């Protein structure tokens, strides 16, 4: 166990999702004590926390609705009561709408923006001052390649994640002099950690991805684990795709 990591704490939102679970496990295995936020899937997170405990790690479930300001406040208060402090914030929780913009309702717009953009902003604004005071902190925002170019049906989602990218850059510049780094990770198509590692032969539909396969949640989690480490102290304000090279290519016909 890394001695430095064993003294760190992290709040991971959306810890019950495939990617959230993978990141929670990766950080816990590094010795970091994690608060595992969820909204609905309590049984999944309870099992994850129990599995981490069985393996000698520390993970604590935290329930809350990030779509409302009071919900954000409650999650922060519960995490602080369990951890004592939050050194690492991973904004992973998110909503998703798969339809053209002209078919998107006002309610869908409001909820997605609340969960995917406003909640990360409030969490960063609330937890960053203590990181600044301690002179150390890591914030990782989970973005998407949908923020780097239009993906059919994901216009609203891409708008929210584009906002996350700018939020990342703005906070990074303001917090950099205080030992706090802020980065965003932008995964492409990613299979959950409980599925087999993807092989190109199993995904012929990935012919436009230079790597010829989807990513795996454990690959994203491993990169996040690096970004929260001391070795990544000079990396901040970046939006880093993990997409097998897809965002580096131009559409056919260009």
pLDDT digits (tens, 9 = 90+) for 163-181: 999 999 999 999 999 999 9
- The tokens describing 219, both together, are 């690959």
pTM: 0.95
Q: Which residue has the tokens 């990342």?
A: 168
* Among candidate residues 20, 53, 16, 14, the one with its CA nearest the CA of residue 224: 20
Name all domains of the chain by residue range, CATH numbers in brackets.
Answer: 3-241 (3.40.50.720)
pLDDT tens digits, one per residue of 41-77 = 889 999 999 999 999 999 999 999 999 989 999 999 9
Closest CA to 186 of 164, 209, 213: 164
CA–CA separation, 113 vs 151, rounded Å? 18
- Residue 60 annotated in active site: no
Task: 142-145: list long-range contacts, CB under 8 Å, 24+ apart.
Answer: 142/19, 142/90, 142/91, 142/92, 142/94, 142/184, 142/185, 142/187, 143/168, 143/184, 143/185, 143/186, 143/239, 144/186, 144/187, 144/188, 145/186, 145/187, 145/188, 145/241, 145/243, 145/246, 145/247
Choose, from 60, 121, 150, 157, the residue flagged as catalytic: 157
List pLDDT tens digits, range 94-130: 998 889 999 999 999 999 999 999 999 999 999 999 9
Average pLDDT of the chain, as a whole number? 94
């Amino acid at each position: 166990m890394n001695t430095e990591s064993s003294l760190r704490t992290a709040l991971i939102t959306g810890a019950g999702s495939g990617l959230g679970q993978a990141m929670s496990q990766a950080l816990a295995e590094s010795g970091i004590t994690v608060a595992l936020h969820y909204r609905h899937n309590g049984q999944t997170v309870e099992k994850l926390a129990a599995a981490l405990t069985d393996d000698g790690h520390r993970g604590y479930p935290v329930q809350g609705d990030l779509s409302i300001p009071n919900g954000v406040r409650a999650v922060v208060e519960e995490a602080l009561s369990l951890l004592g402090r939050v050194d690492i914030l991973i904004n992973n929780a998110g909503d998703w709408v798969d339809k053209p913009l002209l078919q998107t309702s006002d309610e869908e717009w409001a909820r997605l923006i609340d969960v995917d953009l406003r909640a990360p902003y409030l969490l960063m604004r609330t937890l960053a001052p203590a990181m600044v005071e301690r002179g150390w902190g890591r914030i990782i925002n989970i973005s998407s390649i949908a923020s780097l170019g239009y993906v059919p049906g994901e216009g609203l989602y891409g708008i929210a994640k584009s906002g996350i990218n700018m939020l990342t850059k703005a906070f990074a510049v303001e917090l950099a002099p205080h030992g706090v780094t802020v980065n965003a990770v932008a995964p492409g198509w990613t299979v959950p950690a409980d599925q087999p590692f993807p092989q190109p032969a199993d995904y012929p539909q990935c012919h436009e991805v230079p790597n010829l396969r989807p990513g795996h949640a454990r690959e994203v989690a491993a990169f996040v684990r690096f970004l929260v480490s001391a070795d990544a102290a000079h990396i901040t304000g970046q939006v880093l795709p993990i997409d097998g090279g897809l965002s580096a290519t131009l559409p056919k016909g260009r």
